[in-house]
A and B are shown apart, each in its own frame.
Chain A
Amino acid sequence: MYEKDGEKYFIVDSHMHYWNAGPDNWVPGAEQYAKGWIECFHAYQGLGPPATHWPIEKFMSYTEDDLMKDVFQDGYVDVAIFQPTYLTEWYKEGFNTTEKNAALGEKHPGKFIANTRFDPREGDAGLKQLEENVARYGSIGLKLYTAEWNNGSRGWTLKDPAAYRYLEKAQELGIKNVHVHKGPTIWPLDKDAFDVSDVDHAATDFPELNFIVEHVGLPRIEDFCFMATQEPNVYAGLSVVIGGLMHARPKFFAKVMGELLFWVGEDKMTFGSDYGIWEPKWQIEGFVDWDYPSDEFSDYPRVTTATKKKILGLNAAKLYGIEVPKEYQLDAGEGAPAARDDSVGVSSGSPAASLG
């Protein structure tokens, strides 16, 4: 939890990692990709305040102690949600697997939620693995990377019939939240891998699932926003938005936040630090202090303390069924976190509805 000026914020870090990207984990023959990937992540860290930068050696292989200190002790986080990233073509034990995450979670009860993943190209064996992971780790969320390599295939889409089979299975197993990576990516080749239209289809056909689009489709924020306004069950995952822009590009951060508040709405935006790319501490402190920098932004929706409480924790807590102590909840009349009806194409009460 975080407290500032008498206001109490319940913090859910809805998108973070515990990876091993050190040379000991590189697949022989794929070293250049394993190294290139983590160096690329490290460059993102460079967009945060200089005092929070790590040397590449630590960045490749930060420890459990580092994580617990940065996220919980110094970082104000109440509950952190692990999002796995496998990348087993480059990393021997995977980059950041459900197993590795869950093992850490078991040592710190109540601190973590371990999401799992699927890849529809893995056929029946993958379906079985998904079922086992859900049973073993109690996952109610997934992280999906549609641009991931797999045996010569450079990606897949949520529209694929095989993906629908997996989504049906996931729903049957009790999965509620599907985090889809639509952001800085790899190997888009001839496809535009940032394309969010596949989320549009899946969100329509699986109305019981929530789709959290991580990194808000960056660099295609506009495609994401146009899509999100049409789908009541599509949410904006702010990982990279706060970490990558708030410090490095404050004016663009203000514009992007203004646009997201306008098109998607404050009930449907969730904070994620993207740790270990960025530590949560400076992001949370900075965001609680943040407001539009000038009058130039006067026609964007206002940002209130309630807005920040929802984004920093209450929305994700609602999506994941996390119990929030009374003193951190909103007062009556301050809105309903994670409400599905707050977007342009959905509700007459949403900010953009006046545009008709």
Chain B
Amino acid sequence: MTATTTGSRILAALAEVRDPELDEPITTLGFVASASVTPENVAEIHLRLPTYFCAPNFAYLMVADAYDQVSALGFETHVILDDHFASDAINEGVAARAGFVRSFEGEAVDELDSLRADFLRKAVLAGTDAVCRPLAGFPLATMTLGDIPDSPALGRLKRRRRDLGLPYADDSPLLIDPLSGDAIKNDDVPLHLRKARLTRTSLDANTGICRGMLRHRYDTDGQGEEAL
């Protein structure tokens, strides 16, 4: 395998890792500072974040997910979070497969699964806005996912619903409550769509701030970052 091919496989694997809060790949966000493989087939990934104080719970999830993705390719893997107040605890915790609570002994009492699920629900709501915004005037409460033409936004919405254990097949309702999975009743559609739009706005605004802060901190592009 050539070095270029290896590099692109690793970047493709890292593109599967999302900032759970922003619901965007860490590559396009510019969070991958470097990704390299030694001749001995050891992968070393450096991640970077917009601030020294970015939430350590989300940082931990990204480092752990990056480790899982790259080591699944068969490399001995080292993922290192740079320039963060909790770098040592996170890097050592992930390397030791310690879990979040053991990595922050005395400071954390819960693992992060429920936090991740909370943010997946937000991603479902935001994705609902992305899919439904062009559909004004359609009887959304009676429509199914299969009624919608394929698009990247629809594919993403289905994947987020699948990840949460919510219905995502073509015959499942287009609009569902992201907590219960129940279909949204016709009378509740306007408020549901308002909430979906607000959630998407919040995610987008937050992403915008994070990108601006990252740019202030580092004047180089990240690996796999898309020019904006």
Contact = CB atoms under 8 A, between A and B. Distances in A.
A352 B194 contact: yes
A222 B209 contact: no
Interface string B191-228: 10011011101111110110011011100000000000
A252 B205 contact: yes
A245 B190 CA distance: 27
Contact of A36 (B85, B100, B101, B118): B85
A37 interface: yes
B171 to A, nearest CB: 28
Given A36-B85, A220-B202, A190 B101 contact: yes
Contacts of A192: 57, 115, 118
A290 interface: no
Contacts of B110: 190
B100 A190 contact: yes
B216 A219 contact: no
A9 to B, nearest CB: 25
Main secondary structure of the interface of A (DSSP, over half): helix
Contact of B208 (A44, A188, A221, A245): A245
B208 A189 contact: no
A33 B190 CA distance: 46
A262 B198 CA distance: 10
Interface in A218-249: 218-222, 225-226, 244-245, 248-249
Contacts of A39: 52
A187 interface: yes
Interface in B51-96: 51-53, 55-57, 85
Nearest to B84: A36
Contact of A222 (B51, B190, B198): B198
Contact of A252 (B122, B195, B204): B204
A190 B51 contact: no
A47 B106 contact: no
A249 B109 CA distance: 37
B50 interface: yes
A37 B53 CA distance: 7
A157 to B, nearest CB: 14
B21 interface: yes
A340 interface: no
A40 B109 contact: no
A248 B208 contact: yes
A255 interface: yes
Contacts of B101: 190
A192 to B, nearest CB: 6
Contacts of B202: 218-222, 256, 259
B112 interface: yes
List the 5 closest pairs (A to B, CB-CB), nearest first.
Answer: A219-B206, A46-B216, A36-B52, A190-B108, A249-B208
Interface of A: 32-33, 36-37, 39-40, 43-44, 46-47, 152, 154, 184-190, 192-193, 218-222, 225-226, 244-245, 248-249, 252-253, 255-256, 259, 262-263, 352, 355-356
23 contacts: A47-B209, A188-B55, A189-B57, A189-B107, A190-B104, A190-B107, A190-B110, A190-B112, A192-B57, A193-B55, A218-B205, A222-B195, A222-B201, A248-B209, A249-B208, A252-B205, A252-B208, A253-B205, A259-B202, A352-B194, A355-B190, A356-B190, A356-B191
Given A36-B85, A190-B107, 16 more contacts: A33-B85, A43-B50, A47-B209, A184-B209, A188-B56, A189-B108, A190-B57, A190-B100, A218-B206, A220-B202, A245-B205, A249-B208, A252-B208, A255-B204, A355-B191, A356-B187
